[in-house]
Amino acid sequence: MTERIRSPFAVSILLCVMVFALYFNVLDNKPTNWDDPAIFTGTAVQGVTLDSLQKVLAFRAGSTYQPVRDISYMVDFSLWGDRAVFGMHLQSILLYILMVLGCYAFLRELLNAFHDDPTECYIWAGLSTVLYAVHPVHVESVAWLFARKEPLLGIFTFLSLWAFIKARTGSWRYYALSVVALVLAILSKPTALIVPGVMVLIDIALQAKVKDPSFWKRRAFLYIPILVVVLPMAIRLITMMHGVGGIKPYHGGSFWTNLLAVSQIFISYVSLIGFTINYAADYPIPLFTNPYAWQPWLYVALNVLLLASAVWAFSRKRYVYSIFVGWYYVFLLPVSHVYPISQILADRYALLPSLSWSVLMGYLLMRLWCFKPEHGPFSKQFPMALAIGLFSFTTLCYAYMTFRQNDIWQNSQTLWEDTLAKYPNSSPANVNLAAIYIHQGRYKEVQELCITAIKALPYDYLAISNLALAQMMMKQYDNAIHNYTQALVLKPDLREARMGLANAYWEKGDYPKAYQIYTGLFRDNTPMKPHYRDSSLYRLGHASWKLGKTEEAHRYLAMAESGALTDKFLLTDLAETYTSMGEMPKAMELYQALYPMLEDGAAKTKLKSLLDVLEKHLQATDRK
């Protein structure tokens, strides 16, 4: 078995087969209503064309720059067409396999650079990579379509660091590959800007192991160009997030209290990665930010203890341990809430940090595997058998949790109902499940879900907007108007809230205000789906008529009519409005177009009677 672990080819084949079997049940999963719709509404990624490539490669204000991720979606749409969802899941699995293989290559290179026993290096790298590959905290990064950037980030990060070590311990030519891979990682997900921090950790450890008199001079030639690229991009990322509202208020109200929350979040990820058995799409943990309470200082002490252990290990020449403690902190830094973001904890943020846990477990198992007792009641092979048993048990437990979590991501409803069962106060779960229940007509449940979400995050404008929609559907128009207004205070350009507010005023019969908002939406060229556009044009026309703007009314109603010819409900509304306006010929024309669209016999009979009445009315008018 040890000889097989020494073979990179055998281990790589095992990893490929194992990962594909583990994630096979993701292939029939549906998109979720958690950012996945952006993939299908973003026309730039729906096929590989010169125009779409230009759009993807162009910088856009208020948007992160992730062209590698977007090009991967373009490939899915081009190859799979109507089966693009299946293709996206398949590519995500394949990318995850490539990431795992990259992790294995990186660990072999890193451990060989610091550990003197080659056999132990192979065992350590193999065990750690298998544990990393099956870890259930990675499910979100594979099963969620919108998380495509995560495995891409992992692939290029591991490739960049592998090439960096090759260059540092061998040929300088590998630095070019390391830099190219780093750029691709940044173009996959901007948080890769932190990767040079890990390079510095590895560099310092290598310098401590093998002294190089010209170390700092040579490092300047490498890191100064990297900083010239990384720092401006990091500033742009933070500025962009500030501009679009991606950065939230400080936890506790100030920068210093927020640092107490950061300390807690670092330790919470230890618990998430190493001691969680029920994973979810969101973890709304309470944060302790009161400097006069004991809880935040406990988390500070735990961080100090963990970092001190890394310093102690470094002084004892345990460089790998020191590197992976630093690895954990470096890769969590962008999501540790130094700049607060929407989610406190997320599985996808643990994709790279979780390698620290896997390497630590792999080390302990490797030491047991290689231990050969000279005396005692057990044979020399007993520790190896025990190590294999513990490794197999842990791997199977992780694999079971991963396989189960894949099915939880089956669709939006299974995902968010599972999250709420585990964390009832989760704001994303309440908001996204409310959006599903709205389409199912479960408005009272929607109201309860949204109120829970707002209590958790008072600035959650989507929860407030969804609450307003549910209230409007229950004919609570004043409440709906109030909440739509509150949502727009928080996010003035929220399209759904602007449209909802206009609809609420229209349903209430406040046609002047409805007219004002509808005209503003069309004046601003607000993007709308065809159905909503036609419906809004109809309502604007109806409001114009109520306000005595007959000419405008005819223009808007005529614009709505083209879409109404395939929508029997909108066609009915238009016909009834023309009837109310006294324009019977037009009303009859629309009712005649509606008649063949009806399937219910009673409805057709009723409409036929109405047509007969209208025809007699028109004949009588003609005789006069």
DSSP calls for 274-302: HS-SS--S---------TTSSHHHHHHHH
Check whether 434 has a pLDDT greater than 60: yes
| H-helix segments, 423-494 | 427-439, 443-456, 461-473, 477-490
Can you say whether the dihedral through the CA atoms of 385, 387, 391, 394 is positive or negative? positive
pLDDT in tens, 158-185: 999 999 999 988 888 898 899 999 999 9
The position carrying tokens 């097989």 is 4
pLDDT in tens, 386-414: 999 999 999 999 999 999 999 999 999 99
Can you tell me the distance from the alpha carbon of 416 to that of 429, in angstroms, rounded to the nearest whole number? 5
CA distances from 393 to 372, 380, 389 (A): 22, 21, 6
Domain spans of the chain, in order of start: 2-408, 414-623
Question: In the predicted model, what is the mean pLDDT of the chain?
Answer: 90
Secondary structure class of 49 (helix, strand, coil)? coil
pLDDT in tens, 325-363: 999 999 999 999 999 988 899 999 999 999 999 999 999
Angle, CA of 9, 14 and 17, to the nearest 5°: 125
Among candidates 510, 517, 508, which has minimal Cα distance to 536? 517
Do residues 347 and 276 make contact, with C-beta atoms less than 8 angstroms apart? no
pTM confidence score: 0.87
Do residues 350 and 269 make contact, with C-beta atoms less than 8 angstroms apart? yes
CB atoms under 10 Å from CB of 428, counted, come to: 23
Can you say whether the dihedral through the CA atoms of 177, 178, 179, 185 is positive or negative? positive
Residues 6+ apart with CB under 8 A from 447: 467, 470, 471, 474
Can you tell me the distance from the alpha carbon of 78 to that of 579, in angstroms, rounded to the nearest whole number? 48
Question: What is the average pLDDT across 602-624?
Answer: 75
Output the pLDDT for position 1: 52
Output the pLDDT for position 3: 59
Output the pLDDT for position 375: 75
CB atoms under 10 Å from CB of 124, counted, come to: 26
> pLDDT tier at 62 (50, 70, 90 boundaries)?
low
Q: Which CATH class is domain 414-623?
A: mainly alpha
Check whether 493 has a pLDDT greater than 60: yes
User: What percent of the chain lies above the pLDDT cut of 70?
Assistant: 97
pLDDT in tens, 248-264: 889 999 999 999 999 99
Residue type, 538: Y
Can you tell me the distance from the alpha carbon of 507 to that of 170, in angstroms, rounded to the nearest whole number? 73
Secondary structure class of 161 (helix, strand, coil)? helix
Which of the pair, 525 or 565, is modelled with greater confidence? 525
Computed over its alpha carbons, how large is the radius of gyration of the chain?
Answer: 30
Output the pLDDT for position 623: 58
Can you tell me the distance from the alpha carbon of 500 to that of 505, in angstroms, rounded to the nearest whole number? 9
Do residues 493 and 471 make contact, with C-beta atoms less than 8 angstroms apart? no
Check whether 568 has a pLDDT greater than 80: yes
> pLDDT tier at 6 (50, 70, 90 boundaries)?
low
Output the pLDDT for position 564: 74
Count of helices and strands (H, E) across the chain: 29, 0
Output the pLDDT for position 5: 61
Which of the pair, 212 or 103, is modelled with greater confidence? 103
Choose from 43-47, 326-330, 599-603, 605-609 the range with maximum mean pLDDT: 326-330
